[in-house]
Amino acid sequence: MNKGIHGVITGDIVGSTKLDREYRAILEGIAEDIVRYKMPEFRLEFYRGDGFQSIITHPEEGLTIMLLLKSGLRRHPLKAASNRVEDAIDARLSLGIGEITGTLTQEKPLGQMDGSAFIRSGRSLEKMKEDKSMLKITTGVEEFDKEFEAVCYLLDAITSKWSINQAQAIYIYLLQNLTQKEIGKQLGISQRGAGKRLITASIEEVMIYNSRFKSLMQWKYSS
pLDDT at 105: 64
- HEC string of the chain? CCCCEEEEEEEEEECHHHCCCHHHHHHHHHHHHHHHHCCCCCEEEEECCCEEEEEECCHHHHHHHHHHHHHHHHCCECCCCCCCHHHECEEEEEEEEEECECCCCCCCCHHHCECHHHHHHHHHHHHHHHHCCCEEEECCCHHHHHHHHHHHHHHHHHHCCCCHHHHHHHHHHHHHCCCHHHHHHHHCCCHHHHHHHHHHCCHHHHHHHHHHHHHHHHHHHCC
Among residues 147, 118, 144, 119, the alpha carbon closest in space to that of 218 is found at 144
Above 90 in pLDDT, residue 158? yes
78-114 pLDDT, tens digit each: 877 677 888 889 999 999 999 988 766 666 778 778 8
Above 90 in pLDDT, residue 134? yes
- Of all residues in the chain, the percent with pLDDT exceeding 90 is 74
- Tell me which of 39-48, 55-64, 179-188 is least confident: 39-48
Fold for 5-221, please state it: Alpha-Beta Plaits (3.30.70)
pLDDT at 2: 58
- Tell me which of 1-15, 119-133, 134-148 is least confident: 1-15
171-197 pLDDT, tens digit each: 999 999 999 999 999 999 999 999 999
- Residues 148 and 93 sit within 8 Å (Cβ to Cβ): no
Residues near 105 by beta carbon (within 8 Å), at least 6 away in sequence: none
pLDDT at 26: 93
Above 80 in pLDDT, residue 51? yes
